[in-house]
Amino acid sequence: MDSAISTAAEDAGDQADPPLDDHDRPRGGSTGRRVAGWAAVLLLIVPTVVVACRAADTDLTTPIPQLLAFLPWLLVPAGAALLLMVLARWVPGMIWAAVVLAVTGWFVRPYDTGLADRPSGKVIAKVEVLTSNVEFGNGTKGLLALIERERPDLVFVTECAEECSRGLAAEVPMADYPYRNVVEGKLAFGSAILSKYPLRKGPGIESTLAMPGSVATIAGREVNVQLAHPLPPVPSGMDDWRRELSRMREYAGEAKGSPGIFAGDFNAGQDHAAFRRILDAGGLRSAAALGGASRTPSWPTMVSRPLGTQIDHVLISKEFSVRKARFVELADTDHRALVTELELHETR
């Protein structure tokens, strides 16, 4: 009987449902991969468009200029997208994400190591330059303390409102900075250049916010010193931003061939095509980049480093080399100040 029962059980087993093939298995894993793939696509859209504009050397229009200012941040969604593409096992998607991540990484690398060519002539002057945006004058107290501590040779101040211009007049001795080019104005409209070197006023740059210019005599050489402060690239003011950066490019082109320092709040950085065109037109270089601080953020200070973007610059002509560059925290302003130690070389 046992043998009969065993035989019957085997016959019943032979009549059971056959094993499930791949099409009949539960589809939970496949659904999860599809979700991961779609999530990766959504994460890649913005980095792809922005890095394509960077590669194409164009700022386009809102929101591209605003996103270009924070290009390093796009490494996060691009990296997350690559991981999701791997989980989704979608090979074309992996290639897409890897390319976006690699190109973004290429553009956000430090764009100068500090090993750029130095002028061949001997050093004829050491020049320390300070530039600071004091946010409607609120950071004046910190600026005055920084000037007292550093005693730079040239000081560029943007958003130098009444409190700022009064503070510079009252607290910074004329004996220390006898040469000044100050444009008074409310809120963000005022600007100032202070100098230990003889200054004569230059034409400056036509703009909404004051951009005064001067010519300094340093070690017997005439050096163009120009303050930068174009309007920011807010969505409603993109035409004004482009127009004023274009005027700055024209100034740089006209001044090319003469020693020059172009400093201030540019409201643009290395990843903006309009800023790179200023560099190209004037044969200018970033002192922060040459001083090893190429990706140090200067704004906004409400986020801690390395977050933020570098829009405060000291740009120099080929007659200058850089010994050191550093960004300094100031209280009551949303910008970090930039202090650079330059050398002016004798050139033929």
Pick from 229, 134, 130, 227: nearest CA to 182: 227
Task: Please give the pLDDT value at position 111.
Answer: 65
Read off the pLDDT band of 116 (50, 70, 90): low
Are the beta carbons of 102 and 266 closer than 8 angstroms? no
Token digits of residue 113: 């190591």
Task: Please give the pLDDT value at position 105.
Answer: 94
Convert the pLDDT of each residue in 90-115 to its tens digit: 999 999 999 999 999 999 987 665 44
Q: Which domains does the chain have, with CATH numbers?
A: 28-108 (no CATH), 123-345 (3.60.10.10)
Distance of alpha carbon 159 from alpha carbon 227, whole angstroms: 11
Task: Please give the pLDDT value at position 93.
Answer: 97
Average pLDDT over residues 280-291: 94
Convert the pLDDT of each residue in 196-232 to its tens digit: 999 999 999 999 999 999 999 999 999 999 999 999 9
The neighbour count for residue 186, using CB atoms within 10 Å, is 10
Token digits of residue 174: 């004329």
The residue that leads in pLDDT, 319 or 347, is: 319
Read off the pLDDT band of 27 (50, 70, 90): very low
Read off the pLDDT band of 343 (50, 70, 90): very high
Average pLDDT over residues 41-66: 97
Mean pLDDT of the chain: 91
The residue that leads in pLDDT, 153 or 116, is: 153
Distance of alpha carbon 196 from alpha carbon 151, whole angstroms: 10
Say what percent of the chain tops pLDDT 70.
90
- Tell me: pLDDT of 67 over 60: yes
Q: Going by DSSP bridges, is the β-strand pair 260-265/221-228 parallel, antiparallel, or unpaired?
A: parallel
Q: Going by DSSP bridges, is the β-strand pair 221-228/285-286 parallel, antiparallel, or unpaired?
A: unpaired
Can you give the three-state secondary structure of 12-64, one letter per residue? Answer: HHHCCCCCCCCCCCCCHHHHHHHHHHHHHHHHHHHHHHHHHHHHCCCCCCCCH
User: Which of helix, strand or coil describes residue 299?
Assistant: strand
Token digits of residue 308: 């933020």
* DSSP class of 15: T
Which helix (DSSP H) or strand (DSSP E) does residue 326 occupy? strand 320-328
Distance of alpha carbon 123 from alpha carbon 344, whole angstroms: 6
Are the beta carbons of 322 and 342 closer than 8 angstroms? yes
Distance of alpha carbon 309 from alpha carbon 196, whole angstroms: 31
Task: Please give the pLDDT value at position 258.
Answer: 95
- Tell me: pLDDT of 16 over 90: no
Task: Please give the pLDDT value at position 3.
Answer: 46
